[in-house]
Structure 1
Amino acid sequence: MSNIQNGPFIVTGASGQLGRQVVDLLVQAGAGPVIAISRTPDKLADLAGKRVEAREGDFNDPASLEAAFAGGKRLLIISTDDLEPGKRLAAHSNAIAAAKTVGIDHIVYTSFAGPVAESPIGFAQDHEGTEKLITESGADHSILRNNMYTDFLLMGGQQSVAMGTHFSAAADGKTGYVTRADCARAAAAALMKATGRKTLDITGPETVSQAEVAAILSEIAGKEIPYVALPAEDLVQAMIANGLPEFMARVFASFDEAIAQGYLDVASGDLESLTGKPGQSVADFLAANRAALLQAPQEQ
């Protein structure tokens, strides 16, 4: 990749699924040096010798962050996975404060589609608050509003294939599904090349309804899998009956409610503009994972 900016490049959450892919992409592109931050840096031991320095850092431990970020120039803040509203914002605030202290030049942040307080998704306002803190920090930045991961359709799709019906509380709403791998490409590209201050929508090539997801699953499974739209509360109770804790059931249902209300109905060309390659479609991703979709779901 040409026009790579000067590092060091810092990747937080580097031992997670997204962060590790970003680190690998930086290494493949010859960008460096790379500082990989994790609460468990021993999980990154295999990166030794690849111009990657593993450091310990925890967003919930502010004292750990200045040392973790020291010497870095460009920082990727991967959103934490705290589902309780307010916790992400507090953790992200610690990271942004440390970035300001050590003099980070450019912050890349993995936000989420529809980051407004009105969204049914409880942590949407944490993303809204984090974006505000970044814009107020004075640093150049790339805010990447990642849409829903296409990867999440694998577990639900497996259940739908097994049951012969695709249930959702998303009504006729559409989603600009994007794969985790494409989000990693976007984050790596922004970290290496982006300049200025931009907010980008990182999405798949088109928005897709749950009826269209059901049609794709039907083609893959070789049988008719109809889409049945449920009220959100009915979906919550069904998930609870299947053994899911109520808190998690309501979190999952809130994504469907956000889709129904249009908050995730976003598709743009920003991913292709940033990386030079469009995102993978839902149909292509699910077809590539046909074997996983056709496996029998494991009992909880």
Structure 2
Amino acid sequence: MSTILVTGATGHYGQATITSLLNKGVKPQMITALVRDESKAETLKELGVNIVYGNYEDYNSLVRAFSDIEKLVLVSGSDLEKRTEQQLNVVKAAKEAGVQHILYTSVERKTERETSPIQFVLGSHLATEKAIKESGMTYTLLRNNLYMDLLPWFLGENVLENGIYLPAGSGKIGFALRAEMAESVANILITEGHENKSYTISGEAVSFEEIAKILSEISGKEVSYTSPDPETYIRTVTTAGMPEMFANMFGGFSQAGSEGELNSENSDMERLMGRKPTSVTAFLKQLYQ
């Protein structure tokens, strides 16, 4: 009988969670990977975990997939337009199938106002959290900050030559490595005492001013940092050829950083992992030294 199911299992976060569980001694037959396309699950099959088909928009497939599951990790979906409806389907199906505990990868934020610069992701997270709390299942909510893995995308390919151009002001963001976020999830799954709790999953918060200084020290070049207003940023980068979706995403998260929404003073990550998370400095040294 499988006791843990991970959704989005062929994605980076889901796969990292499964790998971390296996590294911590969980037997592969105790883990189920929910996949929409089995042809993408070869790596998971090689690990020996159970593979089960499930589509967020096919309710019955979810109920079947969740039968005999004790703990479900709902990795938030990537389809921003349909995500609320899809994830509410997952929560309802989990309840019907008898899942006892659900873990959800939500988002870090200081406020929940409708005018938030990250409302484009925040709305679906808040709706999913509400449904989980009202479901009667025990839960753990993970308020994930931004993936440090995506930091090079924010900085741009030629950051050492062109400098940093983002509307982030002097605000700090608690970037954390995706693999270490997933390790935190694995540790929650294999230990007790996490029922009906919310955890902040963030690294040490840094500003883009500080990142420019770190890059300058690493590279020996003077890396500049320019913080335009959000409208100027989006106009400038889309004119330069960046797709509007990415411009809005990078602009929105940067603006949220400037407003203090992503500055986590009290992260639970070190306690959950048993060590300090990887720092932005260490990550950038690996990339740019």
Identical columns (%): 35
- Distance across 2 between alignment mates of 1:45 and 1:159: 31
- Distance across 2 between alignment mates of 1:227 and 1:46: 40
Amino acid at match of 1:198: K
- Distance across 1 between alignment mates of 2:180 and 2:266: 13
Unaligned runs of 5+ in 1: 1-5, 292-300
Tell me the equivalent position of 2:161: 163
Q: Is 1:116 aligned to residue 112 of structure 2?
A: yes
Alignment partner of 1:289: what SS?
helix
Tell me the equivalent position of 1:18: 13
Question: Could you say what the CA RMSD is over the residues aligned between the two structures, in angstroms?
Answer: 1.9
- Distance across 1 between alignment mates of 2:66 and 2:252: 35
- Distance across 1 between alignment mates of 2:106 and 2:246: 21
Tell me the equivalent position of 2:269: 271
Amino acid at match of 1:236: I
| Number of equivalenced pairs | 283
Shift of 1:60: 2.4
> Which deviates more from structure 2 when the two are superposed, residues 41-50 or residues 190-199?
41-50
- Distance across 2 between alignment mates of 1:240 and 1:24: 38
Q: 1:105 aligns with which of 100, 103, 108?
A: 100
Alignment partner of 1:92: what SS?
helix
- Distance across 1 between alignment mates of 2:152 and 2:179: 14
- Distance across 2 between alignment mates of 1:275 and 1:66: 32
Q: Is 1:174 aligned to residue 172 of structure 2?
A: yes
Amino acid at match of 2:197: K
CA distance 1:104–1:8, change in 2 (3 Å): same
- Distance across 1 between alignment mates of 2:158 and 2:228: 14
Q: 1:56 aligns with which of 53, 56, 68?
A: 53
CA displacement, residues 18-44 of structure 1 (integer Å, 9 cap, x when unaligned): 111111111222224100011112322
Unaligned runs of 5+ in 2: none
Contact 1:36 1:54 in 2 (8 A): yes
Shift of 1:138: 1.1
Amino acid at match of 1:93: L
Q: Is 1:92 aligned to residue 87 of structure 2?
A: yes
- Distance across 1 between alignment mates of 2:159 and 2:246: 22
So what's the TM-score if we normalise by structure 1?
0.88
Q: 2:286 aligns with which of 279, 282, 288?
A: 288
- Distance across 2 between alignment mates of 1:141 and 1:63: 22
- Distance across 1 between alignment mates of 2:80 and 2:180: 23
Q: 1:193 aligns with which of 191, 216, 221?
A: 191
Contact 2:160 2:219 in 1 (8 A): no
Tell me the equivalent position of 1:222: 220
